[in-house]
Amino acid sequence: MRPDSTQGQETVADVGEFGLIRRITEGRKQGIPTLLGPGDDAAVVAAVDGRVVASTDVLVEGVHFRFDWSPPDQVGRKAIAVNLADIAAMGAVPTAVLVGLACPSTTPVSVIDELSAGMWHEAGRARIGIIGGDMANSDTMVISVTALGDLEGRMPITRGGAMPGDIVAVAGRLGWSAAGLAVLGRGFRSPVTVVGAHRAPEPPYAAGPQAADCGATAMIDVSDGLLADLGHIGVASNVAIDVRTDLIEVHQRLIDVAQALGADPRHWVLTGGEDHALAATFPDPGAIPEGWRAIGTVTRGSGVTVDGSTYEGAAGWQHWR
């Protein structure tokens, strides 16, 4: 359903700001870290560690999502997931999210109901709640999410700790969202598993703290593409990274889709964004935890190579390019 197709339906203008807030929050279960939820000037979240990890992402209709490609509930899931992946990439456990929503006054309330249901679903997957936010009128729908996390005594895993000799590993899917985007761009809606990976990513939230506990030296959320995001680790750590394609599994479903579209599935895996897998470096192979897969090595120098050579083509997504 298009968010601006009212067709006699009740709209957000009919319900009003506070009525909409009640619809989104009433009867919803908060996570254990929430000490005071929505309804006051600010929420209160427990920070047992004494340090709060925070991250914000903005999703703009037409740039990050399209309602003719993704139903509102999956847009809601995606909005939460992309933010919680950043928290996990620091080695922290998510504790809460705040949501800012701007949309046209003609947006049907049913769209917001579905959108918020998806948000609550994804928050529930991480065992947290939506503790507050803000709303505003806008010509285009914009969703802004701020995620909070708790390190639980760990040191934060930044992008700047990789050392020559480290092993590069990943947790989560690679290339699936890019494949789903390619399918949607051709006007198709199946295979459902591939399209669904683009509509609502499933970051491995627990893998971040797991990697931190096992001695990860650097870590990042793969949001813009594996090569591009490993490049951020390389720059921050002043090292070079080489990715080995013989260590990267390309799922048969991606191969099938690529053959149907005349595309290269390896390109999706290496440069496709929005899967929100986690990439990290570890001091030795024995430190890599279960569920993570070694895909390369850290060396002296600079830049990211594939099988020892410069990758031809864009390494990933960049805004304003």
Q: Could you tell me the end-to-end alpha-carbon distance of the chain, in angstroms, rounded to an integer? A: 30
| Binding-site annotation, residues for Mg(2+) | 41, 55-57, 86, 134, 221, 224
| Binding-site annotation, residues for substrate | 64, 274, 317
| Binding-site annotation, residues | 41, 55-57, 64, 86, 133-134, 159, 221, 223-224, 274, 317
CA distances from 3 to 70, 121, 139, 170 (A): 12, 20, 11, 36
Q: Which tokens go with 221?
A: 């959320």
| Binding-site annotation, residues for ATP | 133-134, 159, 223
Q: Return the DSSP state at 275.
A: S
Q: b/e map of 290-319 (b: 16 or more CB within 10 Å)?
A: eebeebbbbeeeebbbbeeeebeeebbbee
Q: Are 133 and 98 in contact (CB under 8 A)?
A: yes
- What is the spatial distance between Cα 159 and Cα 220, in angstroms, rounded to a whole number? 6
Which residue bears the tokens 């996390």? 149
Q: Are 155 and 219 in contact (CB under 8 A)?
A: no
Q: Are 170 and 281 in contact (CB under 8 A)?
A: no
- What is the spatial distance between Cα 220 and Cα 139, in angstroms, rounded to a whole number? 33
Backbone angles phi, psi at 312, to 5 degrees: -85, 120
User: H helices then E strands: how many in the chain?
Assistant: 10, 13
